[in-house]
Structure 1
Amino acid sequence: MAPKSTFATSTAKPPCSVSTLFFSFTLICTLSISLFFLFNTTHQSKTSSHPSLMSQNAPQPLNNSIKVYIADLPRSLNYGLLDKYWSFNGDSRLGNDADREIRSTLLSKKLKFPPYPENPLIKQYSAEYWIMGDLMTPEEFRIGSFARRVFDANDADVVFVPFFATVSAELQLGVAKGVFRKKVGNEDYERQREVVDFIKGTEEWKRSGGRDHVFVLTDPVAMWHVRAEIAPAILLVVDFGGWYRLDSKASNSSSSDMIQHTQVSLLKDVIVPYTHLLPRLHLSKNQKRQTLLYFKGAKHRHRGGLVREKLWDLLVNEPGVIMEEGFPNATGREQSIKGMRTSEFCLHPAGDTPTSCRLFDAIQSLCIPVIISDDIELPFEGMVDYSEFSIFVAVSDALQPSWLVGHLRSFSREQKDRFRQNVARVQPIFEYDNGYPGGIGPIPLDGAVNQIWKKVYQKLPMIKEAIVREKRKPPGVSVPLRCHCT
């Protein structure tokens, strides 16, 4: 899967004089790009290393890169899935208005790197696309990328598995949701099976037991049928909420069908940000905020999200509080933008899982997050100090009548301004989009992709130790998955 530059020129040999001019032009452009990124690297490193936000004790890389080998999966399991997505007319789940417009422009085109869906149900999980896009970008344009792609697995620190698991799952849910939890007639399961069978048959997997392989599983239902088989790997997930148990109805109350908590751990896995759905508001554009607290989302949720319904009933009639049903899709996007940009605080209660893209929409909107989710895990902890720009409230306190509103009103104007300034400083850290077609091009230097690879880099000593421990075990003896940690 060697990359081919989207910036490539014709291979036909021009006349000598044209060749000389072309060479000179290319040299000038290359030097300009190099100077641009050198400047930006220096500039962004200064702005992103604010001592109160970025941990001074976070492990620092020794060689400023992590070496990544891309497993040789067929295109049908990544960009080919996007071809499949864009070829559909779509149903209520896949038929987002923004995507219909994109489909109409792609009908006559065959792109090597198609765009990712704008449908918010899918876009929020787009980490797989941007990570892959960075790795597929020609090396000369990857100035500043923390991950260095290698083409010999023996030279790699980790093996990246290029499966667009979210797109695969959402295709199945959009076309035939009824068979999603089944194996027969389930194309997503067939793709999962193809990925796992291929990967487990490679020498790289056999050598490490899969512990140095990286899977992107941002959608809570991604690779749902094969999770136990890839449990030893490094999993990039948005939280651990979808891993602990299945709905009792789906599992028939059988513990053997439940996802075991030992399959995920902060010791080996990485929490990554959702992709924000709302545009970034720069601090210089911030205006006076009239509303105290804002929330837009579904009132009724399951499992840990039951607290949301209780909070709703407590807050809906409070002065200065806006509670709205809905999702920032095509029809509710402008309403969400206005609500978050005109509110001091944005509520972030647990839903079906402990977190959601709502948190990152709030950050991009300079709305101070109020996090009410006792089991939440957050991206880049140890690298970012969330307490400097977010309010954390225990569920037990939040459910006391009038307590939360009183607590938020107790913050002074100076305190809120300081929180908002800190929110502005961390906005770039949660940005995936590099602004290039197909995601092929230089990435934001302090953006989410680089932060993810830095976090994976921190895991390497523990991963290597686990591989060595496995090798010393006598035949027939397995190493238990001890993933308990706090």
Structure 2
Amino acid sequence: MEKKLIINGGHCHNQFWFTVLLSFVFCFLLFCFDYSVLYSSNSGVSFYSEKTQKANQLAAIDEPSEIPDSQNFPFPENNVSLTIVNNVTDPCSGKYIYVHRLPRRFNVDVLEDCRNLVKWFNMCPSLMNSGFGPKVETPQGVLSEKNWFETNQFMLELIFHQRIKQYECLTNDSSMASAVYIPFYAGLDVGRYLWGYNVSVRDSSAFGIVHWLRKQREWNRMFGRDHFFVAGRIAWDFRRRIDNESDWGSRLMNLPEFMNITVLSIESSSWSNEFAVPYPTYFHPSSDIDVIRWQKRVRARKRRHLFCFAGAPRPTMKDSIRGEIINQCLSANQTCRFLDCKAEGNKCNTPVEVIKVFRDCKFCLQPPGDSYTRRSTFDSIISGCIPVFFHPYSAYAQYIWYFPKNYTKYSVYIPEIDIKTGNVSIDRALSRYSEHRIKAMRKEVVKLIPKVIYANPKSRFERYEDAIDIAVKRVLERVNKVGEITREGKDPSVEFAAGNQWKSKLSGIVGDQPLEPLF
């Protein structure tokens, strides 16, 4: 009996200490929880569950629609405060993008006017397949069996917007975003009014989008320096300086607000907030293997012609060298192949015909046309044809995110003054390149193919980065740098300073010396 009481007493004693220990653990956990909440609110570091994180990453952007004005939301006292996400637990840290839900007039309604997007053409078919246009159904043995479309060169705004909807680090919480995308179809909009309309009509959407943006809380955070948008026309179409009716384009990019925005366009001007991205080509592969197979095909192609030119003369442009280039090509007999874009039944807008010519040429001539750059440059690259440039602003000062700084690796430069004065024979100049050198240059050109194409948005590359992947990455680097400068209390406007930036862009390629021909 005594032994039993001792045992029961020991049991009660152990139970008492177990209860004390359990209470201590509970209090400790409660204290830690309270401290973590306090720490999170003071430091700006947020912790998200895996489910919440995934939801933010995959947040879908619906059709653009009206959203409440920013005046309905409270503004923080510090306009540049950002929610910093723990990059150990969140793979999207520093990569989040918030997409503005614009009023329909700035994108959806523009597409509904597709018959009038370009004065001379019905552009409605070009809207098919996420902006890629109709699929090429008869590749005729020239193209691969799939992934080729009749893509219009002005469709980049729609192509980019459709692709960004699939971006893996979208967020509906703008405070988490490193960058803010404006899905404004500025090029498609102004393209309707470039001929026969007064400046008020051409500027209507420009002033409208600025008025709308300034009312958004996202704008007031950094006054647009974390915003970016894509223009599917050359930048000069948006840089009208004065209001004479005869002057070209709209004033969009000369408005003070847009000088704070990072602008991506198919051809940039000399302003430091502009960056050129490739023209859309006809090739939109769905997988890495599609790219690899096409690269192998164009790399191995036996090319019958030394050089070729696809284009038309510009008789009304006194400084154009196209007439001289066409004459040299025609006089070169079998050495040069000319695809006349002014001939009846113009074949220059037909993917099969363009690639058929370029795949059979070692060099493809790329003189300026109505502006410095050409879509043909990118058609030649996807064909494995080495581009020949006559003006440094046609590529070297433009596509700095995409092309090697050492331009001699993938292209040839012949100064246009030498063509105008007749000092250079293109045939003789290109004939001096050995087969070994040509093969090495073509290898570099073929390596560029993934970088200058726009992949099918319904798929995903695993090995390569396409033109949009590269653009998004570089935009994020740029706006994150601006954010760092701002948080350090420095003036971020230096990143958006006006002025001629082409010289600095070229200096990183060719130094301070003028470009020289390579022969």
- Aligned mate of 1:322, from 332, 337, 349: 337
Higher mean C-alpha deviation, range 64-73 or range 322-331: 322-331
Alpha-carbon distance change, 63 to 156 in structure 1, aligned in 2, over 3 angstroms: closer
Q: Distance in 2 between matches of 1:288 and 1:424?
A: 15
Alpha-carbon distance change, 170 to 479 in structure 1, aligned in 2, over 3 angstroms: closer
- Any residues of structure 2 matched to 1:59-458 within 5 Å, and which? 66-85=95-114, 88=115, 93-95=120-122, 99=124, 115=131, 117=133, 123-137=152-166, 142=168, 148-172=169-193, 177-179=195-197, 181-183=198-200, 186=201, 189-220=203-234, 221=237, 224-229=250-255, 230-240=258-268, 243=269, 264-265=271-272, 268-277=273-282, 281-284=294-297, 286-300=300-314, 306-319=320-333, 320-326=335-341, 332-376=350-394, 377-381=397-401, 384-385=404-405, 386-399=407-420, 400-434=422-456, 436=458, 442=460, 445-458=464-477
Alpha-carbon distance change, 480 to 345 in structure 1, aligned in 2, over 3 angstroms: closer
Q: Which runs of 5+ in 1 are unaligned?
A: 7-61, 107-112, 143-147, 244-260
Q: Distance in 2 between matches of 1:301 and 1:232?
A: 38
Q: Distance in 2 between matches of 1:448 and 1:415?
A: 27
**Percent of aligned pairs with the same amino acid:** 20
3-state DSSP of counterpart to 1:224: coil
Q: Distance in 1 between matches of 2:454 and 2:496?
A: 35
Q: Considering only CA atoms, is the larger Rg found in Structure 1 or Structure 2? A: 2
Q: Distance in 2 between matches of 1:301 and 1:201?
A: 48
Deviation track 1:207-242 (CA, whole Å, cap 9, x = no partner) reads: 3232221021230225823221212210102223xx
Q: Distance in 1 between matches of 2:319 and 2:196?
A: 24
RMSD of aligned alpha carbons: 3.9
Alpha-carbon distance change, 447 to 404 in structure 1, aligned in 2, over 3 angstroms: same
Deviation track 1:434-484 (CA, whole Å, cap 9, x = no partner) reads: 163xxxx546741111011122233235533775799879xxx99993444
TM-score normalised to the size of structure 2?
Answer: 0.62
Structure with the bigger RCO (C-alpha within 8 Å, sep 6+) is 1
Alpha-carbon distance change, 73 to 443 in structure 1, aligned in 2, over 3 angstroms: farther
Alpha-carbon distance change, 481 to 121 in structure 1, aligned in 2, over 3 angstroms: farther
Aligned to 2:47: none
Alpha-carbon distance change, 346 to 117 in structure 1, aligned in 2, over 3 angstroms: same
Alpha-carbon distance change, 303 to 201 in structure 1, aligned in 2, over 3 angstroms: farther
Q: Distance in 2 between matches of 1:314 and 1:116?
A: 35
Aligned to 1:464: 483
Asked whether the equivalents of residues 83 and 114 of structure 1 are also in contact (C-alpha less than 8 Å), the reply is: no
3-state DSSP of counterpart to 2:357: helix
Alpha-carbon distance change, 378 to 228 in structure 1, aligned in 2, over 3 angstroms: closer
Alpha-carbon distance change, 380 to 191 in structure 1, aligned in 2, over 3 angstroms: same
Deviation track 1:366-417 (CA, whole Å, cap 9, x = no partner) reads: 1111111132323244774443222222223444444332221111112111
Q: Which runs of 5+ in 2 are unaligned?
A: 1-57, 64-90, 136-148, 239-248, 285-290, 505-519
Aligned to 2:497: 481
Instruction: State the one-letter code of the partner of 2:340.
Output: E
Aligned to 1:36: none
